[in-house]
Structure 1
Amino acid sequence: MARDIVIWPHKVLTTSTQPVTDFGPALEKLLEEMAEAMAEAKGIGIAANQVGEPLRVAIVGREDGTSFEIVNPQMLSKQGDTKLEEGCLSVPDVWEKCPRVERVKVRYQDKKGEWHELEAEGRLAHVLQHEIDHLDGHVFVDHLSSLKRGLILERMRKLQKSMARRKEEAPASGRDDKGSKRS
C-alpha cells in the first residue's frame, strides 16, 4: 500500500536522515511503499523522508521511465552550473527555476548493500541532486529567493491545514483519505 506523501515544511523533510544499516525485509518493504507512492503521484523520484521515514534511501527516476534505488548516497563531485525547472511531490503544484549543477558523481549502495559509483548529467543528475538534498534535510525551495520561499511556505501551510481538516471530517469507515495524496 502506498504511503501518504509528507508536505513541506514538515520536520521530517527539514532534518538530515539517518544511514541505513539493515538491508533486510524492512528496507525492501519501505522501497515498495515508496515506489507505489511515487507512481501514484506520477513522480520521477522520492526520498524516504517524503513518506515519513527519516532514512537515507531514495528512488531515482531515469529518462527512459525506469528507476533505481540509492541507499546511503554520497555526492563525490559536482561540475558546471545550470538552472532547471523543478517541482516536488512534497511541495505540490509548485514549479520554479532552481540552480543546480550539470554533472555529478555519486557513490551509493543498492538495496542489498553493494556499493556503486555513478556519473550522471542532465535530467538524471538533476533528480540525483534533488533526492540527495531531501536526504540532507533540504527541499528545492531552499535554493530559491527568500521572497519566493516565503510565498510557497504560506501556500503549503494552508494546504496542510486543509488536509488536516479533511482527515478529521473523513468518516471513520477505515477508508483512506485519497485527498492526502499529492503529485
Structure 2
Amino acid sequence: MARDIVIWPHKVLTTPTQPVTDFGENLTTLLDEMFEALKKAEGIGIAANQVGVPLRCSWVGREDGTFFEIINPQILERSGDVTLEEGCLSVPDQFAPTPRFHKVKVKYQDRTGAWHEVEAEGKLAHVFQHEIGHLDGQVFVELLAPLKRSLIREKMLKLQKTLGRRKKSGE
C-alpha cells in the first residue's frame, strides 16, 4: 500500500535521517511502500522521510524510466556546476532552476546491505543530490533565493491546511 507523501515544511523533511542498520523484512516493506507512493505520484525519486520515516533510504530514477534503491548513501566526489529545473513530491506543483553539481560519485547499499559505487552526471547526478539532500534534512527549495522560498512556503502551508481538513472530513 502506498504511503502518503509529507508536504514541506514538515519537520520530518528538515531533520537528518538515521542510518539503516536492519536489512530485514521491515526495510523491504518500507521500500515497496515507498516505490508505490513514487509511482502513484509519477515522480523520479523519493526518500523515506518523504513518507514520514526518518531512515536513510531512497529510490532514484534513471532517465530510461527504471529505478533503484539507495541505502545509507554518501557522495564521495562532486564536480562541475549545473542548474536544472527541479521539483519535488513534497513541494507539489512548484518548480525552479536549482544549482547542483554536474557529476557525482556515490557510495550506497542495496536492500541486502551490499555496497555499490556509481558515477553519475547530468540528470541522474541531479536526482542523486536531490534525494541525498532529503536524507540530510534539506529540501530543494532551501537552495533557492529567500523570496522564492518564502512564496513557496506560504503555498505549502495552505496546502497542508487544505489536506488536513480533507482528512478530518473523510474525503
TM range (shorter): over 0.9
**What's the offset of the Cα at 1:81?**
0.2
* Letter in structure 2 aligned against 1:128: F
C-alpha distance in 2 between matches for 1:112 and 1:124:
23
C-alpha distance in 2 between matches for 1:110 and 1:124:
17
C-alpha distance in 2 between matches for 1:149 and 1:142:
7
Q: Deviations over 1:96-129 (max 9, x none)?
A: 0000110000000011000011100011101000
**What's the offset of the Cα at 1:86?**
0.2
Q: Deviations over 1:13-62 (max 9, x none)?
A: 00000000000000000000000000000000000000000000000000
1:80 alignment partner in structure 2 = 80
C-alpha distance in 1 between matches for 2:85 and 2:106:
22
Query: SS of the counterpart of 1:50?
Result: helix
Query: SS of the counterpart of 1:111?
Result: coil
**4+ residue stretches of structure 1 with deviation over 4 A?**
none
Query: SS of the counterpart of 1:68?
Result: strand
C-alpha distance in 1 between matches for 2:103 and 2:48:
24
2:31 alignment partner in structure 1 = 31
1:47 alignment partner in structure 2 = 47
**What's the offset of the Cα at 1:169?**
1.0
2:160 alignment partner in structure 1 = 160
Q: Point out where structure 2 has 5 or more consecutive residues left out of the alignment.
A: none
Mapped pair 1:5 → 2:5: yes
C-alpha distance in 1 between matches for 2:83 and 2:122:
11
1:134 alignment partner in structure 2 = 134
TM-score by length of 1: 0.93
Between the aligned residues of both structures, percent identity stands at 68
C-alpha distance in 1 between matches for 2:77 and 2:145:
25
C-alpha distance in 2 between matches for 1:127 and 1:151:
24
Query: SS of the counterpart of 1:160?
Result: helix
C-alpha distance in 2 between matches for 1:63 and 1:159:
30
Q: Point out where structure 1 has 5 or more consecutive residues left out of the alignment.
A: 171-176, 178-183
Q: Deviations over 1:150-181 (max 9, x none)?
A: 000000000000000111111xxxxxx5xxxx
C-alpha distance in 2 between matches for 1:112 and 1:169:
41
**Count of residue pairs the alignment pairs up:** 171
C-alpha distance in 2 between matches for 1:65 and 1:83:
22
* Letter in structure 1 aligned against 2:51: V
1:173 alignment partner in structure 2 = none
